[in-house]
Amino acid sequence: MGRTKRHHYLPEFYLAGFTSDGGRDSTFTVFDRDEGTFRSQTPKNTAVCHYYYALEDDTTGEKSMEVEEFLSSIESEAAPVIRKLERLKTPTDREREMLALFCALLHTRVPQFDRSIQETVNGAFQALARRMAPTIEDVRMQQQEWEESTGKVSEVTAEEDFERIKNGAYSFSEPRQNVIKMMLEMSGEFAELFLNMDWGIAHTPSRMSLIVTDAPLLLIPPREWRPGMPSFGLGTPGAHKMIPLSRRVALFIGDLGSRFEFVPLTKGQTRENNLALAERCERFVIGCDELLIQNVVRRTRLAGSTRRPIVVVE
């Protein structure tokens, strides 16, 4: 059971594809945004948490590894498909289905997805609290009703409570169990969406490599989108999705359609995608070449930067 405790939120085989020789025991360079450090690591010891996908029984407290086993089964089917794409071989319909689900899970199984759920839930909770208590008098009336119904006395004044509500001092978090369930539900929906879109399998130029991060799905805005315009999502027309599958190949998903093609990446496109991926990382930037990672971190000014909210609820 010891091995099942260590749950990779980026699969070990997938990470191996970003080492110089594709081996699980090989090393790559990892930039840790939280610590501001560069480290040499192996896939085995990267992007791993104890019991990250464990579901706990409410009665017995026993941990179920069912979700981790499901993820492992998808990884086993996706790995040879990625190797096939590296050889410029067209996948079967079944292989495309597995790769679509694998890529959808790369978007939902990582800590950044967890944070987006928490920001959504907490933002909605705080927005509701502000709407229910827009004035000090509203808070005072609610406190009086609560005291009369419970027979207790509030430990804070209405003025203090109002300030806490206004400043977002009260917070709410979604239990990890619920986040895992949302991960599974939404990954199925995203996989179906991806399958009904145009695909481009892009290969890097010789002597150039793609990086990966702990948020490996890059959502590229529509050409006409500008800051201040309504947000866009995976299904927004014109929004493209890019997922590095290894240091040599990436999957680009476009609009609704059925086109499948192999396309080359130019040196400039490879650099641009690496920078865009790094800018949107949660914590880790990973690549086979230390100088490449150092250059990406320097150009994106990641060192010392703070994370921006993913979801803002008005």
pLDDT (tens place) for every residue of the chain, 314 residues total: 444 789 999 999 999 999 989 988 999 999 999 999 999 999 999 999 999 999 998 888 899 999 999 999 999 999 999 999 999 999 999 999 999 999 999 999 999 999 999 999 999 999 999 999 999 999 999 999 999 999 999 998 999 999 999 898 999 999 999 999 999 999 999 999 999 999 999 999 999 999 999 999 999 999 999 988 888 999 999 999 999 999 999 999 999 999 999 999 999 999 999 999 999 999 999 999 999 999 999 999 999 898 998 987 87
DSSP-based three-state secondary structure for 266: coil
Query: How confident is the model over 78-88, as pLDDT tens digits?
Result: 999 999 999 99
Identify the bridge partners of residue 253 per DSSP, sorted by sequence position: 199, 241
Nearest in space to 278 (alpha carbons), one of 299, 251, 261: 299
DSSP-based three-state secondary structure for 268: helix
| pLDDT at residue 230, as a whole number | 85
Asked if residue 242 lies in contact with residue 251, where contact means CB atoms within 8 angstroms, the answer is: yes
Distance CA 42, CA 293 (A): 15
Residue type, 13: F
Neighbours of 155 (CB within 10 A): 7
| pLDDT at residue 311, as a whole number | 83
Q: Give the predicted TM-score (pTM) of the model.
A: 0.92
| pLDDT at residue 211, as a whole number | 98
| pLDDT at residue 57, as a whole number | 87
| pLDDT at residue 229, as a whole number | 87
